[in-house]
Structure 1
Amino acid sequence: MQVLYTASARATGDGRDGHVRTSDGTVDLDLAVPKEMGGAGDAANPEQLFAAGYAACFHSALRLVGRKLKADVSGSVVEAEVGIGPNGSGGFGLAVTLVVDLPAVPRTAATQLVEQAHQVCPYSNATRGNVEVVLTVREALAA
């Protein structure tokens, strides 16, 4: 693979109750453990950052596939839900649900676009086989 771009971030402090900053300073956030996991929940957490990145990346892949197939992806929205919990082996795992709105695309075509975007998206390719990813198409036109 030819690397086109590399992002770099540094975590300091106490991990989930610490701070993250990208090398260029565009992301510069305090972190806090979510209340649901016993923390203060008064700052961002790694699952939120992962959800934001996955949603943006998947949306780009969806729009790329849509353009190639000449589908009307105007008004499209991608929401990523990232859950964390014990994996049964002493560690933790993630679960992801991607909820996609394609209001101008009939349901069958929308489902096909989402499946194709899932093959293109780098986050989907990185998680495949490691993280359960559920794809949901919402608000599609009836076929």
Structure 2
Amino acid sequence: MTEKLLFTGKTHIVGGREGYARSSDGTLDIKLPQPHPAAENLFGAAWSACYIGAIELAASQRKIALPAGPEVDAEITLHADNGSFFLRARLNVSLAGIERDVAEELIHAAHGICPYSKATRGNIDVETRLV
């Protein structure tokens, strides 16, 4: 198997009261408030975008036409327990116009395709709900 680089994201982050995050291509330029809840929002947005692409790929592989674009509401929560920090995630997925059993198959398959799902597997609690 030959590995092929598809994309490299480059960001510059500055902390403190006037913290910010900027991508080298200019598509991301946001202020980072203290104590940085933006990190969970950014992670949720990035994961959701990737996950939607994975759902679309899973549908294409199965020759399933999606009547509407998939939608994901991500909830990334930060927890503390005795000085240790950890994340939990909930992905609420909407696949309008798709039978429930087919939709469940697609969202399950997407976790095997999406690099964010692969990276978090076994590392954080993830709940996926079809809404």
TM, length-normalised to structure 1: 0.81
Secondary structure (helix, strand or coil) at the match of 2:19 reads strand
Which residue does the alignment assign to 1:136?
A: 129
Percent of residue pairs identical = 35
Q: How far off its partner does 1:17 sit?
A: 6.0
Q: What amino acid maps onto 1:60 in structure 2?
A: G
Q: Does 1:3 align with 2:43?
A: no
5+ long unaligned stretches in structure 2 = none
Which residue does the alignment assign to 2:56?
A: 63
Partner deviation per Cα, 1:67-114 (whole Å, 9 max, x = no partner): 11122323221221111111x352311111111111221111111110
5+ long unaligned stretches in structure 1 = 34-38, 139-143
The answer to which structure, 1 or 2, has the higher relative contact order (CA under 8 A, 6+ apart) is 2
Which residue does the alignment assign to 1:31?
A: 32
TM, length-normalised to structure 2: 0.88
Pairwise CA RMSD: 1.9
Matches within 5 A, 1:5-20: 5-14=7-16, 18-20=19-21
For the Cα contact (< 8 Å) 2:22–2:28, is it kept in 1? Answer: yes
Equivalent residue pairs, number: 128
For the Cα contact (< 8 Å) 1:71–1:105, is it kept in 2? Answer: no
